[in-house]
A and B are shown apart, each in its own frame.
Chain A
Amino acid sequence: MATALPIVAILVFAVLGVTYKLSDKFNCDQRYVNLFMFLSAWTVMLAWGLFTGRMDLAWRAVALGATMGSGVYLSVMIFRKACTLGRISTSWTVINLALVVPVAASILIWGEKPDPRHWLGIGLTVVAVLLLGVDIGRAGE
């Protein structure tokens, strides 16, 4: 289960990444695409929550969800604006490099302790993001 979940997440997030490419290709109106995206996700999660009986009210969950929802919206809008002002490869790389924030929080706030092999893996992920960012930039030139 613990191994399967990240694989599922990677596959479905890859589909999400492809929809960004498709919306570009088909010249979609991003405002509508985002609205349909949030509404369909909301519908599915509500149905799943009701079906599994896990929708009992918890105010901390509501507060966290509202904070994350505002963050998702702002993140999407800021990314779109950044893409109009600068190179998409730079914006894309910076967005992906944000993975160091939760990694740092996991280590510094929640006291998780990576071993040397995991540190190497984290470092290589950052290197991979930077190299792929350079490649996208070169392809766009």
Chain B
Amino acid sequence: MSYRRLLLLAFLFNGLLMIGMKAVEELGLSRHIALVLVVQYGVSAILCIPGIVGSRKPATRTDAWVGVVAGLSSAAGMTATLTASTMIPGYMLFPIIQGGTMLAVVIVGRVVFKERVGAYGIAGLCAGVASIILLSK
């Protein structure tokens, strides 16, 4: 499959996932957020298994702890997002969370990993902060 088609698919899947988050509230499933996420993570874990079965390379401790930290963050983030979607309109919630996360990762990259942020990056950070301020009011 070509790179462009893969990007289009990635764009659509990611977008549809966020629609799924919004659908939890729209379908009246706010009380079942835990069940939705248990099934979601369970299905994702099961789908991962065929890619690992038969692998000759065993998992390392680093794989495990990075994965566990990612899993705990993902679970907390999804729970917060799904709960927030019952209180905040989708057109505000998704740009705030997606934009805010992006800004936070860039800032952490700069502070912790000493990554360079150029002129475009600084302009992007300013635009991101301005967008969050505008959307939050």
> A122's closest neighbor in chain B, by CB?
B95
Number of interface residues of B (CB under 8 A): 111
Q: Would you call A41 and B37 a contact (CB within 8 A)?
A: yes
* Contact mask for chain B residues 114-137; partner A; CB cutoff 8 A; 1 contact, 0 none: 011111110111011011111111
Q: Would you call B6 and A78 a contact (CB within 8 A)?
A: yes
B36 cross-chain contacts in A, Cβ below 8 A: 61, 64-65, 68
In chain B, positions 64-123 with a C-beta closer than 8 Å to chain A are: 64, 66-81, 83-84, 87-106, 108-109, 112-113, 115-121, 123
B100 cross-chain contacts in A, Cβ below 8 A: 6-7, 9-10
B5 to chain A, nearest CB (A): 10
Q: A48-B34, A69-B42, A72-B44 are in contact. Are A81 and B6 (CB under 8 A)?
A: yes
In angstroms, Cα B84 to Cα A128, docked, is 23
B108 to chain A, nearest CB (A): 6
Question: In the complex, which of the residues A8, A28, A65 contacts B76, with contact meaning CB atoms closer than 8 Å?
Answer: A8
Q: Would you call B91 and A128 a contact (CB within 8 A)?
A: no
In angstroms, Cα B102 to Cα A4, docked, is 18
